[in-house]
Amino acid sequence: MTSRFGWRTNPVTGQRQFHTGVDLAAPVGTPVVAPAAGRVVRVDVAGVGRGEVNGNAVHLVTGGGLRWAFLHLSRVDVALGQAVRQAQRLGRVGATGRATGPHLHLQVTWQGQPIDPVGLYPPGTFT
């Protein structure tokens, strides 16, 4: 894990800000999979609208109303509105959008509020 959830100095802007997810370094092309069954509710394309910052991104809603965002992907392998199963590939790690290198920015919100995704996985998942 290269950046945790919470307050930090943004590596691109140098400004102190709240980091609403976690950054996980991985080689370009590493598969990114769905943590649970759900539906794709948004897809961003690098350089267009929110894709300017997020790069290629997939947003997924799963049980209990959790909304997951997977940002900076090198490619997207799902479509808007698509139902996905747990462990289905959503895309691949990249460095699109505002990124300092290849990584996955994983963000989770519940009832509109960001939550630390680390607590949703078994201990030791992220090192």
Using the predicted structure, report yes or no on whether residue 43 has a pLDDT greater than 90: yes
Band of pLDDT at residue 98, cut at 50, 70 and 90: confident
Strands of 1-127 (E only): list them: 6-9, 16-19, 21-25, 31-33, 38-44, 56-62, 67-76, 83-84, 89-93, 103-110, 113-115
Q: Above 70 in pLDDT, residue 32?
A: yes
Domain boundaries along the sequence of the chain: 6-117
Q: How confident is the model at residue 89 (pLDDT cuts 50, 70, 90)?
A: very high
Average pLDDT over residues 82-88: 98
- Enter the CATH code of domain 6-117: 2.70.70.10
Residue 61 has pLDDT above 90, yes or no: yes
According to the model, what pLDDT value does residue 3 have? Answer: 87
Q: Compute the average pLDDT of residues 29-39.
A: 97
Q: Is 50 or 31 the better-scoring residue by pLDDT?
A: 31
In the predicted model, is pLDDT for residue 104 greater than 80? Answer: yes
Average pLDDT of the chain is 92
